[in-house]
A = this chain, B = another copy of it.
Amino acid sequence: MRDSQCRQSLRLRETICIYLTTLLIILGVLVSSFNPPNPRHSPFPYRVPLDPQGVAELDWNVSYSQEVVYFRLLIRQLKFGIIFGMSDRGDIQNADLAVLWSDGQNSYFGDAWTDEEARIHLDTQQDYQLVDAHQSAQGLYLTFKRPFNTCDQRDYIIEGGTVHLLYRFLNRPITSVKSIDLKEMPGGLQRVQLLKPMIHTPPLPSDIKVLEVLAPNVTIPDQETTYWCYISTLPHHLPVHHIVMYEPVITKGNEAIVHHMEVFQCAPELDRIPSYSGPCDSRMKPPRLNFCRHVLAAWAMGAQPFHYPKDVGLMIGGANFSKYLRLEVHYHNPLRLSGRLDSSGIRLFYTPTLRKFNAGILELGLVYTPVMAIPPGEASFELSGYCTSRCTEQSLPEDGIHIFASQLHTHLAGTKVKTILVQGGVEVDIVNVDEHYSTHFQEIRLLQKEITVKPGDVLITSCTYNTEDRSHVTVGGFGINEEMCVNYIHYYPQTQLELCKSAVDINYLQKYFTFINRIDDDRICSCPQVPVTQQFEAVPWSPFSSQVLKAMYDFAPISVHCNKSSAVSFPGNWEGQPLPQVTAALAKSRDHCQRSSHMAPGEATVVQLTANKPGE
């Protein structure tokens, strides 16, 4: 009988059925009471503020055995609910949402989704499952779980890379989720890596020393985006040490504003770097700071302390190491709060007892050159850079190198980045992939497992770009409106190889220009006489010219940069190299998904707010 009532109109269902199923659901909540998986110090080892005022905060944990993420939201000043969810790029359209809402009397929790027009619907399959809800002195704690991959076509699949979280606050009671207008609601977007790798943290040595690279007493500018530059120095005459760990130091209260930070090593060739503490784009910034570009450490919101593998350390100090470090802090201050003081930075842990291996950093991807270009108006245009077998053969030790971390990098148009390991023409492993890459969220990420690259192996780094909002071609280069495709891989043991990248052979590009210019009107192209960027600007862009360019990039020979630390190429001719052939693609990991409890459409869970914490 309850069933037949439930099949009445949607509105009725949302109100009547909820009451009728209350008892059942309370039972359900008790049954699925919380057993945190894999506790690592805390049951929720990862934390990120959601909004820039810190009203809402997300803690989470990952169970790889269950393939489930446990989320715990702390909402300090709950009004009539909160919407939390995930979508491809953080948009409120086509999003996958957990909604807590109140009609003024009762509170409800449900799994919902938004359509192309950002209209919100309760989902027929409830995959965000409530585990616990209770009030505390800090605010409301709401704990729920979600499988990585539900079998629901409307649901977001939680993957290893960046996840765009979105949140909205409900400031008035609502009777039905359908009445929510997401476009009108306060809230925002937060990027995190949800699926942190499960890695055993090696113990710190007893002779550990600490160096805090902090930008002291910065008054955070009252503008949305600031990159703050600060020059720090090493202890005098520091002999060679190994950095074995680093962690963020964030001034209390600024957790929601300090977005990410990087420490760069300056070029050892320069004797002196002037001291500086100010915006990185200021005209007052000494030009010499541009020689401090070699990444030493990087942290972004939600990231854990970075531990080097047990036998590995990153060199610092000694004769060939600059005594200057540049700290860059990205303040994200969308509320334009003014007068906030900050002294955040990164704390390096280093030891004089050198470990067995030096860590090295190798740059993969595309050469910074305009020959690699992305046509305008493309939703998804992929470029690939190759580290060829000829280069790895000459540069890597017989036992190979072991990659343990990776930092992906593009400029504004990049949306995906991936590096694949190819052995004997067969794709054998993914070094790193981010299907939701954002230039605004660049972390050094520890890999779930170390990847070994042997002499003769090939590494293919592919970047996908979106240029739908651009009317001009985007060429490769250093400028923020030009593009890059880079994966900095962190590996051991260190080798001489610093850079293994490629770009298309210029002769083939010229044939492309000739063909495209002649196809329509037989005009003779003066192409080779003008710079490549200008030739690209002159292309009549159409699906045709774009598709032929794409086909050409995937076919033409390449010019390979296989460089030693000294920016000098390994011996040999690296021009006109054949494109590495891939005869077998990686088997797609079988679409493994977990069905959650099945509910009638529009059904939601009544939330019992308790004042004490059950089951923890």
Q: Map CB proximity to B onto A541-567 as digits: 1 under 8 Å, 0 otherwise.
A: 011100110111011100000000000
Point out the residue from B125, B508, B543, B555 that lies within 8 Å of A551, measured CB to CB: B543
* Beta-carbon nearest neighbor of A544 in chain B: B555
Given contacts A595-B124, A598-B598, contact A543 B515 (CB under 8 A): no
Q: Map CB proximity to B onto A156-172 as digits: 1 under 8 Å, 0 otherwise.
A: 00000000000000000
Return A3 CB to nearest CB of chain B, in Å: 12
A518 close to chain B: CB less than 8 A: yes
A591 close to chain B: CB less than 8 A: yes
> Which of A542, A551, A595 lies at the interface centre, i.e. has the most chain B CB atoms within 10 A of its CB?
A551
Return A157 CB to nearest CB of chain B, in Å: 12
Question: Please, how many residues of chain A have a CB less than 8 angstroms from a CB on the other chain?
Answer: 25
A151 close to chain B: CB less than 8 A: yes
A524 close to chain B: CB less than 8 A: no
A480 close to chain B: CB less than 8 A: no
A511 close to chain B: CB less than 8 A: yes
A529 close to chain B: CB less than 8 A: no
Return A53 CB to nearest CB of chain B, in Å: 38
Return A4 CB to nearest CB of chain B, in Å: 13
A519 close to chain B: CB less than 8 A: yes
A612 close to chain B: CB less than 8 A: no
Determine if A551 and B554 form an interchain contact, defined as CB atoms under 8 angstroms apart.
no
Return A36 CB to nearest CB of chain B, in Å: 22
The CA-CA distance from A548 to B552 in the complex, in Å, is 9
In the complex, what residues of B have CB within 8 A of residue A543's CB? 551, 554-555
The CA-CA distance from A317 to B518 in the complex, in Å, is 55
A534 close to chain B: CB less than 8 A: no
In the complex, what residues of B have CB within 8 A of residue A598's CB? 595, 598
In the complex, what residues of B have CB within 8 A of residue A152's CB? 151
* Beta-carbon nearest neighbor of A553 in chain B: B544
Determine if A550 and B552 form an interchain contact, defined as CB atoms under 8 angstroms apart.
no
In the complex, what residues of B have CB within 8 A of residue A547's CB? 547-548, 550-551, 554
**A502-556 interface with B by 8 A CB criterion:** 508, 511, 515, 518-519, 542-544, 547-548, 550-552, 554-556
A42 close to chain B: CB less than 8 A: no
A153 close to chain B: CB less than 8 A: yes
The CA-CA distance from A75 to B554 in the complex, in Å, is 54
Point out the residue from B508, B555, B591 that lies within 8 Å of A153, measured CB to CB: B591
In the complex, what residues of B have CB within 8 A of residue A153's CB? 151, 153, 591, 593
In the complex, what residues of B have CB within 8 A of residue A511's CB? 515, 518-519
In the complex, what residues of B have CB within 8 A of residue A125's CB? 595
Point out the residue from B515, B519, B552 that lies within 8 Å of A544, measured CB to CB: B552
The CA-CA distance from A598 to B515 in the complex, in Å, is 57
**A579-594 interface with B by 8 A CB criterion:** 591, 593
In the complex, what residues of B have CB within 8 A of residue A518's CB? 511
In the complex, what residues of B have CB within 8 A of residue A555's CB? 542-544
In the complex, what residues of B have CB within 8 A of residue A556's CB? 519, 544
Return A446 CB to nearest CB of chain B, in Å: 32
Return A515 CB to nearest CB of chain B, in Å: 4
The CA-CA distance from A508 to B547 in the complex, in Å, is 16
The CA-CA distance from A544 to B556 in the complex, in Å, is 9
In the complex, what residues of B have CB within 8 A of residue A542's CB? 555
In the complex, what residues of B have CB within 8 A of residue A554's CB? 543-544, 547
* Beta-carbon nearest neighbor of A542 in chain B: B555
In the complex, what residues of B have CB within 8 A of residue A595's CB? 124-125, 598
The CA-CA distance from A547 to B555 in the complex, in Å, is 10
The CA-CA distance from A591 to B543 in the complex, in Å, is 28
Point out the residue from B124, B151, B508, B593 that lies within 8 Å of A519, measured CB to CB: B508
The CA-CA distance from A508 to B522 in the complex, in Å, is 11
In the complex, what residues of B have CB within 8 A of residue A124's CB? 595
The CA-CA distance from A544 to B125 in the complex, in Å, is 44
The CA-CA distance from A591 to B155 in the complex, in Å, is 13
The CA-CA distance from A500 to B550 in the complex, in Å, is 33
* Beta-carbon nearest neighbor of A590 in chain B: B115
* Beta-carbon nearest neighbor of A124 in chain B: B595
* Beta-carbon nearest neighbor of A547 in chain B: B551
Return A525 CB to nearest CB of chain B, in Å: 13
Return A10 CB to nearest CB of chain B, in Å: 16
* Beta-carbon nearest neighbor of A518 in chain B: B511
The CA-CA distance from A299 to B117 in the complex, in Å, is 45
The CA-CA distance from A551 to B548 in the complex, in Å, is 7
Given contacts A511-B518, A519-B556, A547-B551, 14 further A-B contacts (CB under 8 A): A124-B595, A151-B152, A151-B153, A153-B591, A511-B519, A544-B551, A544-B554, A544-B555, A544-B556, A547-B547, A547-B554, A551-B551, A595-B598, A598-B598
The 9 tightest CB contacts between A and B, nearest first, are: A544-B555, A547-B551, A515-B515, A544-B551, A548-B551, A548-B548, A598-B598, A511-B519, A153-B591
Q: List 21 A-B contacts (CB under 8 A).
A: A124-B595, A151-B151, A151-B152, A151-B153, A153-B153, A153-B593, A511-B515, A511-B518, A511-B519, A519-B556, A543-B551, A543-B554, A544-B554, A544-B556, A547-B547, A547-B548, A547-B550, A548-B548, A548-B551, A551-B551, A595-B598
